Amino acid sequence: MIEEEGIVMEAAGGMAKVSILAKSACEKCASAGVCHPEGDDSYLEAANPLNAKKGQKVKVVLAPQVFLKASIILYGIPMAVFVAAAIIGKNVGLKYGGEAQSDLWAFLSGMAFMLVSFFFIRRYNRKVEKTQEYKPVIVEILG
């Protein structure tokens, strides 16, 4: 389980906006400013089955299989599409443009189809945002 602690900033309708707290391990991390930039106003939207109230400290959990599935959708699919389209583009380039232009065909076809895959992922994301499938869940009220 991926667990984080945070403070509920808003709670309404079974959902809560949670500001995730930086952990002590973050202080030594070179990328801490990326995850928790100072003055960051971004929040995590989580299911709130415990009816946590504004200002309460909570533990938020995201199942690892959900994180893995989301990572594959966001990174794996576009990369696989890029490689497949580049291979096809290279072969088409060799057949119709000769050796000199085949790398350009590979790059352009790979990029074009990768952008198309991002379009479909964005459409899928809009549909999934309305469900609870990828949302983290508040599992404990800490204080």
The full set of domains in the chain, from first to last, is 2-62+135-141 (2.40.50), 65-128 (no CATH)
The pLDDT of 106-113, averaged and rounded, is: 96
Q: How far apart are CA 102 and CA 93, in angstroms?
A: 4
Strands (E), 13-136: 15-20, 44-47, 57-62
Q: How far apart are CA 74 and CA 91, in angstroms?
A: 27
How does residue 132 score in pLDDT terms, banded at 50, 70 and 90?
A: confident
How far, in whole angstroms, is CA 122 from its chain's centroid? Answer: 11
The CA-atom distances, in angstroms, between 123 and each of 45, 118, 137 are 20, 9, 24
Q: Which two tokens stand for residue 102?
A: 């085949």
Alpha-carbon dihedral sign for residues 66, 68, 69, 70: positive
**Tens digit of each residue's pLDDT (9 = 90 or more) over 14-39:** 888 888 876 655 666 665 555 655 55
Q: Which pLDDT does position 123 carry in this prediction?
A: 93
The pLDDT of 89-96, averaged and rounded, is: 92
Q: Does residue 70 contact residue 134 with C-beta atoms inside 8 Å?
A: yes
How does residue 128 score in pLDDT terms, banded at 50, 70 and 90?
A: confident
Q: Which pLDDT does position 88 carry in this prediction?
A: 96
Q: Which two tokens stand for residue 57?
A: 């400290």
Residue closest to 48 by CA, chosen among 38, 56, 39: 56
Radius of gyration of the chain (CA): 21
Strand-pair partners of 59: 5, 140
